[in-house]
Amino acid sequence: MKGIQMVDLKGQYHKIKSEVDKAILDVIEQTAFIQGPQVKQFSDALQNHLGVKHVIPCANGTDALQIAMMALDLQPGDEVITTSYTYVATCEVIALLQLVPVFIEVLPDTFTMDPSAIEAAITEKTKAIVPVHLYGQCADMEEILAVAKKHNLFVIEDTAQAIGAEYTFSDGTKGQAGCMGHIGTTSFFPSKNLGCYGDGGAMFTNDDALAEQLRMVANHGQKVKYHHDIVGVNSRLDTIQAAVLLCKLPHLNEYSDARRAVADAYDQAFAQHPHLKIPVRNSKSTHVFHQYTLTCQGIDRDALQKFLQEKGVPTMIYYPLPVHKQAGYRNAKFAPGSLANSENLCQNVISLPIHTEMTEEVLQYIIQSVLSFF
């Protein structure tokens, strides 16, 4: 079978083409390329969708993390606890701001931060915890928020992969991914679950003062034009991207459903397999399946990937190396071998195609191809 893709952005576009084309042309016609009305319209719409008090748009998901840490006034030398099994952006901004990343383990079942490892990592320099809602489901927020509260730490949720996931606390109350900690950050990179047609990102918060601080940092450190109270950055969501996102947001729930349907089919096909472990769903979180990631058991993962490639089935390794083993991030405190779960996962995970436009025919072909390896 030809032309199978990890993500089918073209098919998704064609379903809403006339609407999106018009929205983009409208922006061009208005020539309101920077901070046009669609930017505010989109942040208002996303606020309503998530039920969060403030959505502050910015240029990308990496900026969102950086602006969050700047807005919390974290200072060089402050320690930030996060996971090494993540996309590098999470740790990059920590290092860039001369903060100290302190890596802890992920749970090998759900791939998210092991909350029981947090306390041992806390020192008097610790200021924040950054859980990553990896692959589309929430980390164990109840436990993470409890430790953070006990030690007076900020929580920044990296929600780049999990917009739309919902977490249920043990008292029955619900929280949206990104809206439970002090600040949540997300990315609208094209292949993310709510993707635009270029770069984009946003921060979420329920705290009015923090919202003001986030806006100020993202806007050259100014509240009043040409009056720069602090050192900020320039990070804006383009109006054209906001216009695209306004068209796509009403479809986000159906996009999540479509991804979940693919995941359900994969689960069913591989659940009993002796050499494949399906991704474990956290019973407290819904899963929006940014990625569908299998863990290989007792087989050569790279041989499986090569075999699938020859059959025309693309796969990805998210992530081949944990951050603490990356050349730019090596640190004596986190020697190779020190985070065994994270390192094992990097050697054994494989992500299958998952997107909103998967046909039954392609899905069955992928499943049969995987099974025929054995």
Give residues in contact with ligand PLP (CB under 6 A): 60-62, 86-87, 89-90, 132, 158, 160-161, 187, 189, 199, 201
Give the 3-state secondary structure of residue 298. Answer: coil
Q: How far is the CB of 192 from ligand PLP (least distance, A)?
A: 6
Q: How far is the CB of 367 from ligand PLP (least distance, A)?
A: 26
Would you say 60 or 205 has its CB closer to ligand PLP?
A: 60
What is the dihedral sign for C-alpha 342, 345, 351, 355?
negative
Residues 6+ apart with CB under 8 A from 146: none
Q: How far is the CB of 132 from ligand PLP (least distance, A)?
A: 5
| Strand-pair category, 183-187 with 154-158 | parallel
Q: How far is the CB of 83 from ligand PLP (least distance, A)?
A: 10
Would you say 86 or 315 has its CB closer to ligand PLP?
A: 86
Distance CA 10, CA 15 (A): 9
What is the dihedral sign for C-alpha 247, 250, 256, 259?
negative
Q: How far is the CB of 124 from ligand PLP (least distance, A)?
A: 28
Would you say 189 or 266 has its CB closer to ligand PLP?
A: 189
b/e 220-229 (16+ beta carbons within 10 angstroms → b)? bbeeeeeeee
Radius of gyration of the chain (CA): 21
Would you say 57 or 201 has its CB closer to ligand PLP?
A: 201
Q: Under a CB-based contact definition with an 8 Å cutoff, are residues 60 and 201 in contact?
A: yes
CA distances from 34 to 41, 47, 58, 204, 238 (A): 14, 20, 12, 21, 6
Cβ atoms < 10 Å from Cβ of 294 = 22
Q: How far is the CB of 40 from ligand PLP (least distance, A)?
A: 21
Would you say 68 or 74 has its CB closer to ligand PLP?
A: 68
Would you say 132 or 242 has its CB closer to ligand PLP?
A: 132
Cis? peptide before 319, omega within 30° of 0: yes
Would you say 87 or 270 has its CB closer to ligand PLP?
A: 87
Q: How far is the CB of 267 from ligand PLP (least distance, A)?
A: 22
Report which DSSP code applies to 107.
P
